Chains A and B, each alone.
Chain A
Amino acid sequence: MSLLEISDLRVEFPSDEGPLVAVKGADLIVEQGEVVGLVGESGSGKSLTCRSVMRMIPKPGRLAGGQIVFDGDDVTALRGPKLRDFRAHSVGMVSQNPFGSLNPVFRVGAQVAETLRVNRGMGRKSARTEAVALLDRVGIADPERRYLAYPHELSGGMCQRVMIALATASNPRLLLADEPTTALDVTTQAQILRLLVRMRREQGMTMLLVSHDFGVISEVCDRVAVMYGGYIVETGPVDEIYHDPQHPYTRALLDSIPELDSAGSSSRREPLSGYPPELSERVEGCVFAPRCRFARPECGSVSMELEPLGPGRASACPVRPLAGGCADPQSRAETSA
């Protein structure tokens, strides 16, 4: 049995002109011990999919359909104390903005200790000792002294480490990391990613990592699901997705990534034209078709269901214009400057 199984997830926001559907149909499986990435552009529904697992969709949004099964239990049916228990023990969450997630008027150590006392029923003293140990485990130097610091006294990277300590305080079986490094400098980002990789290796932590940056996903994840316009359009092992993408959107996304190797070259990328769909836009058939250079008339009736392509791989594009290799992610349109 998989640790997490999301099927046909639908998240809606009410509006005067009927519901706006932010996640239209997401299917995702996370196996025990696996690190899965969820990549996509803003508005693709990746954060909402991640937050749905914790049943933390920002109001007035709501879960309008689909199933979320965690370790055999239906998460969508949890209520009251059961939901609270699930959030406390089964999953941990790290969000993009560490300053916004920590309480500014309490010392960071006390916040970690509080979590330990509430979630693990520890006493004052043992919670304090354990909190210091947790801060140490997430790579905070001099944890005894940092225990007494307020969030504003710590850097962004430090705060994010505290958040990771909080999220993992009750040894959750799944860590949800929603753009955990987006607000940080690259050098700090590398440290946090290294920490996540280490925790995964040492504790076998299962993780769902959401990022708009394929580089971040590549560094940490085993598998990746690519989202666009509220759907998962392709999933597979990170290495295969990068070297042999099958969905035209994945290919276009990879082709758009700026790379260090481009320095000094006068060639240009052939960018994807147009813009991602707005929430209020209703696209019949394939959501990516309006921007797709392989679009055909029949794309207007595509169901956006993921079709299996091989072991662990699936794509929502039935046309499969990229089948048969030729997918070199470095390819550029040469234009003489």
Chain B
Amino acid sequence: MTDEHGERMLQVEGLTKEFALRRSVGQRVQRQEGQWHLAVDDVSFELRRGEILGLAGGSGSGKTTVARSLIRLTEPDAGQVRLDGTDVLAADRRELRGLRRRMQMVFQDPYSSLNPRMTVGAALHEAGKVHRRPGWEDKDAFVSRLLSLVQLSDRLASRKPRELSGGQRQRVAVARALAVDPELIIADEAVSALDVSVQAQLLNLFQELRDELGVAILFIAHQLAVIAELADRIAVMHEGRIVEMGETKSVFEAPSDPYTKALLAAHPDPDPRHRSLLA
């Protein structure tokens, strides 16, 4: 690990986002204000260079809204996001492009985030070309380096997404994120749709990318066990707030928040001798 490890890279403070709920017909006719749903409520956390932070929580807890707000796919209502001191929320279009290069997102469903008409090679090369990354001029070498980073064969460069398996597609999505040399990867349920044997491969891949490239990862997952495998620290979200945050091991061994405790208790243990639900 580099000397930079431990340096604060991403600082999020007081992030808040409200969504307007759909108004009923009556409310619309009477021009009444609709109700608001506080999706993210005063969320603050930090991410160090090369660190893996797991973001856990049930559906609707606000995990994805936090992720999207970091790169302003969703504009937050209040709060601050700083990447190495640069205010992300105040950035103009040009600055935002640069910031988004440094913070890349990997989504749950690689099939919908890859262009079905582009070959894998073209998709990877385009990302490098748009951001003028070193080596982009030599397409084959550029693509080949990326594919080897995610442990895929060069032969896949000429394939289209539909010709790949789910695990291969997700590796391509990771490779495309890596094409622009990001410092932070935001992985939003990136392994949730995969089969366990393939999921284990991807978890190892994320760990290797962190160890070898020093890239930080904000790893969003609803499965606590997946976060246990990967994350240095964990933040647990519930109803828009971070209810507990700390070293993964200590949070799992001694959770202090009732919601974290409930999540851990509900986790189905693969060992039948540890059956907990029969009680």
Binding site for B on A (CB under 8 A): 41-42, 185-187, 189-190, 193-194, 197, 212-216, 218-220, 238-239, 242-243, 252-265, 268-269, 271-273, 275-276, 278, 329, 337
Contacts and interface: CB of A to CB of B under 8 A. Distances in A.
- Main secondary structure, interface of B, reads helix
Contacts of B275: 218-219
Given A186-B266, A268-B204, A260 B224 contact: yes
B273 interface: yes
Contacts of A269: 200, 203-204, 229
Contacts of B196: 41, 212, 214, 253, 256-258
Contacts of A261: 228
A239 B277 CA distance: 16
A213 B222 CA distance: 14
Given A256-B200, A261-B228, A189 B266 contact: yes
Interface in B208-244: 211, 222-229
B260 to A, nearest CB: 11
A254 B271 CA distance: 10
Given A189-B266, A260-B224, A219 B273 contact: no
B222 A185 contact: yes
Interface stretch (B17-25, B32-40, B139-147, B247-255): B247-255
Contacts of A329: 270-271
Given A42-B195, A257-B196, A258-B200, A186 B58 contact: yes
A265 B248 CA distance: 10
B272 A189 contact: no
B278 interface: yes
A327 to B, nearest CB: 13
Given A258-B223, A258-B228, A214 B270 contact: yes
| Max chain B Cβ within 10 angstroms of own Cβ: one of A219, A260, A272, A278 | A260
Which residue of B195, B228, B263, B270 has the most chain A CB atoms within 10 A of its CB atom? B270
B95 interface: no
A42 B58 CA distance: 23
B197 A263 contact: no
A323 B270 CA distance: 22
Contact of A257 (B204, B265, B270): B270
B211 to A, nearest CB: 6
Interface residues of B, number: 48
Interface string B93-122: 000000000000000000000000000000
Given A190-B268, A193-B268, A219-B276, A272 B200 contact: yes
23 contacts: A186-B223, A186-B263, A187-B262, A189-B268, A193-B268, A197-B277, A197-B278, A213-B268, A218-B270, A220-B277, A239-B273, A256-B199, A258-B203, A259-B270, A260-B225, A260-B252, A263-B227, A263-B249, A264-B247, A268-B204, A275-B165, A275-B168, A278-B165
B80 interface: no
A330 to B, nearest CB: 9
Given A258-B223, A259-B225, A216 B249 contact: no
Contacts of A256: 196-197, 199-200
Contacts of B149: none
Nearest to A261: B228
Contacts of B91: none
B267 A186 contact: yes
